Amino acid sequence: SSGINAEWPLRPGKKLQDSFTAVEKCRKPVIAAVHGACIGGGIDLICGADIRLMSSECYMQVKEVDIGIVADVGTIQRLPKIVGNQSLVNEYCLTARKISSDEAARVGIVSRVLVDKESMIEEAVALAAQIASKSPVAVQGTKSNLVYSRDHTVQEGLDRVALWNSAMLLGGDPIVAMSGAGEFEDP
């Protein structure tokens, strides 16, 4: 053996991929609030977020093809699942054309476009507060099952959530919430 590890050239790229995937794997919901230009790695990063908001002046661009590389930290893998239109994602990745905030909302990359940066940040904070007012167990379980279901069949998702909820019924959150007597504390 030459002593050279065949995986060595892949390590730096895999570590970078793992750092972007950490956004998606975070147990708590991640809200991306995007303003200005969201180019290349910026799209990779927000594709891992659970909720994406954008200000009206923002644009996005999968720019890697213009600099002679392949988008390699998540856009190619996640954006087709977000948009649901492989042809459109192919167009974005192969041409590096700019995606306006209106188009990003229309095709589902972001859930909402706000008039400016300030209103977008206010909305992101309000969404975070609304989510934080819910049962942490239910929120984290919902996020986990949403991500799982995206990558599995409907039946596999149903089986997993049934198992998840049967285990969660052993805890107190569902029982307190269903009784109508419990209210979760404000964050």
Q: pLDDT at position 15, please?
A: 82
- How far apart are alpha carbons 56 and 74 in whole angstroms? 24
Pick from 55, 54, 58, 56: nearest CA to 37 = 58
Distances (CA, A) of 108 to 20, 47, 112, 136, 182: 20, 11, 9, 26, 35
**CB of 63 closer than 8 Å to CB of 40:** yes
pLDDT band, residue 17 (cuts 50/70/90): confident
State pTM to two decimals: 0.82
pLDDT at 26 over 70: yes
pLDDT band for position 178 (cuts 50, 70, 90): low
Q: What mean pLDDT, rounded, does the chain reach?
A: 88
Give residue 183's pLDDT.
55
Helix (H/G/I), strand (E/B), else coil: 55: strand
- Tens-digit pLDDT profile for residues 116-172: 999 999 999 999 999 999 999 999 999 999 999 999 999 999 999 998 888 888 766
Task: Give the model's pLDDT for residue 19.
Answer: 83
